[in-house]
Structure 1
C-alpha cells in the first residue's frame, strides 16, 4: 500500500500538499490538487485511520456494550444507535458481555484504552464496582435501561408497565397469579417489575402463593423450568402467569402446552418485550412493547450531544410503552 510520501513523489508535490488535499484544508493550486487526486484514485490510497485520529483527537468509533447479542432487544437497540451515529460518520464497536459482570468491567477498560469517542452501555447488573468504573471514564457515556445518578440514562418505565400487566390480569378475573422473575440485582427487570407486581396484588388485596414466585435467568429453558416448579410444587395451580421477559413466557407456555394445559383457558400468560416471535406463537403473547429501536436512537442522540459539546451529561429520558393485548389472556 502506498504511503503519503510516495503519493507526494508520484504527484510531484510536497507531503504537506497531499495532507491538505486529504484533509480539505489550506490552499492548494487547482493543478496540484488534480495531480494528487489522480494519483490517489489510481493507487487506491486510503489514509491511516490511526494517523488521522492522532491529528483530530477523534477515532469516529463509538463503543457499545450489550448483555447479549442473541436477543431482539439488543439488535433493535444497536440498529437504532447506528441509524443516528452513521449520519455523523461514526462506526460502532460492539462488545458482548454474555451477562458476565467481569466482562462488563473489562470491556469498559478496553474501550477506554482504545480511546473511542463515546460509550453506550446497555446495563443489567448495577453494582458499586461498575458505578465506580463508570465514574472514572473520560469518554462521553450513556447508560440504557438502568438509572445511575450523574450519568445520562435512557430508561424504560418498568414499574408502570409491570403494574399495567398485573392489573390487566386482575381485571380479566384472575386472582391466582404466578410470577417468573430474574435476579433483583438487575434493578429494572429483576427488582422494579417484581415490585410493581407485588404492589398491584397488594393494592387489590390478592394473596400470593410463595411457590408461585419463581426466579429464572434470561432464556426460554429457564422459563420452562420455572413453570415446571410452579406446577409441581403446588397443590393449587395458578390461573395466570406474569413472566418478566418474552423468552421466559415462551418457555412457560411450552411447559403448559406439553402438559395439556390450555393457554389462556387454563392459564393466561403475559410478559414484557414484544419480540417478533411473541406475535407468531400460538396463541399470540400479550406483552409490552418498549420500542427498543427508539431507545437506541435516543441514547445515540444524547451521546452525540456530549461528543459535540465536549461536556459530560446527566440527562434522563423516560420512554413510553405500548401494551399489546393478544390471545394469551
Structure 2
C-alpha cells in the first residue's frame, strides 16, 4: 500500500506539499499540484482519513441524535446538514427510538472520540446523565434547557403562543382549545404560562376539556375524536405542531366536519406540510435554530466566535383561521 512518502518521491516534491494537496489547506503551485495528483493516481494512493484524524485529534464529524422521524426534523436536519457541508463537517445520524441505552451508545462515541460533538433533537435520558458527557466534547440541543455546558437552540414559546392566542381572539375566537406537548417540557410550561396570562388579559376561562396533551407528534387523529365527542366544542384549536394539526384536520374531515367552518386551526413550526394544507401557523425560525446549533458546536471545536442568527417569531396567515362571523 502506497504512503504519502511514496507519493512525494514519485512527484519529486516534499512530503508537506503532498499533505497540503491532500488536505486542501495551504498554498501549492498549480504545477506541483498536478504532479502530486498524477503520482497519487499512478500509485493508487488513498489518503488515510483515520490516520489524519488521529493525528489532528478530530474526526470532523458531528453526531445528530433523534428518537424517530418527527415533522420538524426535515426542516431542521436539512438546514443542519447544509451548514455542516459548508464548513467541511460530516453528520452521523443516530435514530434511538427513544431508547435510553441507544442514546448512551451515541454519547459513548463522543466519549471515545469517534465523533467531535453531539446535537440532540429530543432526548430520552435525564439531563443529569447527558450533562456528564459534556466534558468529552460540546453538546447542543433543540430542547429548552438552561445549562452552562449544553447549548439550547430554542425560541421562547411563551411569546409565540401568547401572540397566536391574541391573533385568534382578535379574529373573533373566544373558546380556544389547546393541544400541548409533553407536560414536563419547558416549552409546554411556557405555553401554559401564556394561556394563563392570555386568560387574565381577556377575562376568559378555558374549561379543562379544552386541554389536550400529546408527546409523540402522532396523536392528532385521537385528539380529533375527543373533540368530536365534546358536548361543548372549542371554536378554534391551537396545536403545538403542524404535523399534529394536519392529523387533526384530516380526521375531522373523515368525520364529516369542514375546516375552518366548524373549527379554526393554527399550528406551529411553518413546516412544509403547513404550506401544503394551507394551515395558518407560527414560524419559529427552525432553519436558523439549526444553523445556530451547528455554529455553536463549530465555535467550541475551533475556538472561534462566529456570529449566530437573531431568531424571530412570525405568524404565517393562511386559510384555516378566517375572521369569525357571529
TM-score between both structures, scaled by the size of structure 1: 0.82
1:249 to 2:241 alignment:
no
Alpha-carbon distance in 2 for matches of 1:70, 1:42: 48
Given that 1:270 and 1:287 are in contact with CA atoms closer than 8 Å, whether structure 2 keeps it comes out as yes
Q: CA deviation at 1:318?
A: 6.7
1:230 to 2:230 alignment:
no
Structure 1: stretches of 5+ with no match in the other structure: none
Given that 1:154 and 1:318 are in contact with CA atoms closer than 8 Å, whether structure 2 keeps it comes out as no
Alpha-carbon distance in 2 for matches of 1:4, 1:316: 39
1:124-273 paired onto structure 2 within 5 Å: 127-134=126-133, 136-150=134-148, 151-188=150-187, 190-220=188-218, 222-232=219-229, 234-273=230-269
CA deviation string 1:88-145 (max 9, x = no partner) = 32111122233444433332223332442222222356834344334x4321232233
Alpha-carbon distance in 2 for matches of 1:87, 1:316: 15
Given that 1:124 and 1:186 are in contact with CA atoms closer than 8 Å, whether structure 2 keeps it comes out as no
Which structure has more relative contact order (CA 8 Å, sep 6+)? It is 1
In the alignment, what sits opposite 1:290?
284
Aligned residues, how many?
A: 317
Given that 1:126 and 1:185 are in contact with CA atoms closer than 8 Å, whether structure 2 keeps it comes out as no
Q: CA deviation at 1:31?
A: 10
Alpha-carbon distance in 2 for matches of 1:318, 1:201: 30
Alpha-carbon distance in 2 for matches of 1:265, 1:117: 52
Given that 2:237 and 2:266 are in contact with CA atoms closer than 8 Å, whether structure 1 keeps it comes out as yes
In the alignment, what sits opposite 2:40?
40
Given that 1:166 and 1:201 are in contact with CA atoms closer than 8 Å, whether structure 2 keeps it comes out as no
CA deviation string 1:26-79 (max 9, x = no partner) = 9x9x999876543212244221111011111121112222343453x2232223
TM-score between both structures, scaled by the size of structure 2: 0.83
> Aligned pair in 2 of structure 1 residues 207, 100: CA closer, same or farther (>3 Å)?
farther
> Aligned pair in 2 of structure 1 residues 99, 163: CA closer, same or farther (>3 Å)?
farther
Given that 1:214 and 1:230 are in contact with CA atoms closer than 8 Å, whether structure 2 keeps it comes out as no
Tell me, what secondary structure is at the counterpart of 2:173? Answer: coil
Alpha-carbon distance in 2 for matches of 1:327, 1:126: 39
Alpha-carbon distance in 1 for matches of 2:128, 2:58: 28
Higher mean C-alpha displacement, 46-55 vs 59-68: 59-68
> Aligned pair in 2 of structure 1 residues 324, 21: CA closer, same or farther (>3 Å)?
same
Structure 2: stretches of 5+ with no match in the other structure: 322-326
